[in-house]
Amino acid sequence: MTAISRTGLNRRTLMAGAAAGVLAAPHVSRGQGKEPIKIGMPTVLSGRFTVVGDSARGAAGLAIDAFNAAGGLDGRMIELVARDDKARPDEAARVVRELLNADGCHLLISSSTTAGAFAIQEVVRETGHLCIQTISETSSLTADPKIRLPNVFRGARQVVHDAIAGASYAAKVAKERGLKKWMTNSPDFAYGRDATGQFVESLKKIAPDTTIIGEAWPKFMAPDYTESLTQVLTSKPDALFTAHSGGDIVAFMDQAKLYNIFDKVPMFTPNLADLTSIKQIKKLPPDVRSGTRYLATYPDTAANHDWHDAYVKRNGGEPSNWSWETAAGTAFLLEAIKKTKSIDGKVLAEALRGMTIDSPFGIGGKLTMRAEDQTLINYAIGWGSVLAEPPYLKNIQDTDWSEIFHYETEWKKSKGFI
Contact window for other proteins (CB under 8 A) among 224-232, 287-295, 347-355, 375-383:
224-232
To other proteins, the closest distance from the beta carbon of 402 in angstroms equals 31
Does position 61 interact with other proteins (CB under 8 A)? The reply is no
Distant-in-sequence, close-in-space partners of 3: CB < 8 Å, separation ≥ 6:
none
Residue 390 binds other proteins (CB under 8 A): no
Number of residues that bind other proteins (CB under 8 A): 91
User: DSSP string spanning 197-214?
Assistant: HHHHHHHHHHSTT-EEEE
For CA atoms 286, 267, 270, 414, give the dihedral sign: positive
Spatial contact of 212 and 184, defined as CB atoms under 8 Å apart: yes
Q: Which residues of 87-109 are buried (b: 16+ CB within 10 A; e: fewer)?
A: bbbebbbbbbebbbeebbbbbbb
> Is residue 297 at the binding interface for other proteins, with CB under 8 A as the rule?
no
Which one of 28, 221, 284, 303 is in contact with other proteins (CB under 8 A)?
221
Q: Which of residues 254-283 bind other proteins (CB under 8 A)?
A: 254-255, 257-260, 276, 280-283
By CB under 8 A, is residue 98 in contact with other proteins? yes
Beta carbon nearer to other proteins, 16 or 69: 16
Query: Which whole-number Å values give the CA distances from 13 to 6, 9, 191, 204, 398, in the listed order?
Result: 11, 6, 42, 61, 61
With respect to other proteins, which residue has the nearer C-beta, 28 or 357? 28
Exposed/middle/buried for 221, CB within 10 Å: 0-12, 13-18, 19+?
A: middle
46 binds other proteins (CB under 8 A): yes
**Is 339 near other proteins (CB under 8 A)?**
no
Rounded Cα–Cα distance for residues 220 and 217 (Å): 8
13 binds other proteins, rule: CB under 8 A: yes
Q: Nearest 5°: CA angle at 109, between 103 and 113? A: 110
Query: Should residue 301 be labelled a site residue for other proteins when binding is judged by CB under 8 A?
Result: no
Paired strand residues for 133: 110, 154
Site membership for other proteins, residue 216 (CB under 8 A): yes
Give whole-number Cα distances, 124 to 68, 133, 137, in Å: 26, 11, 18
118 binds other proteins (CB under 8 A): yes
Q: In whole angstroms, how far apart are CA 8 and each of 5, 15, 16, 21, 295?
A: 5, 11, 12, 20, 59
**Rounded-to-integer distance, Cα 209 and Cα 200, Å:** 12
Stretch that binds other proteins, among 8-16, 152-160, 332-340, 383-391 (CB under 8 A): 8-16
| Cα separation, 9 vs 339, whole angstroms | 55
Q: How far is the CB of 298 from other proteins (least distance, A)?
A: 21
Site string for other proteins, 305-334 (x = CB under 8 A): ------------x-----------------
* 56, 62, 63, 100: which one binds other proteins (CB under 8 A): 100
Is 54 an interacting residue with respect to other proteins (CB under 8 A)? yes
Q: Which of residues 119-178 bind other proteins (CB under 8 A)?
A: 119, 121-123, 125-126, 138, 140, 146-147
The answer to whether 250 contacts other proteins (rule: CB under 8 A) is: yes
Select the residue interacting with other proteins from 160, 173, 203, 229 (CB under 8 A). 229
Asked if 14 touches other proteins (CB under 8 A), the answer is yes
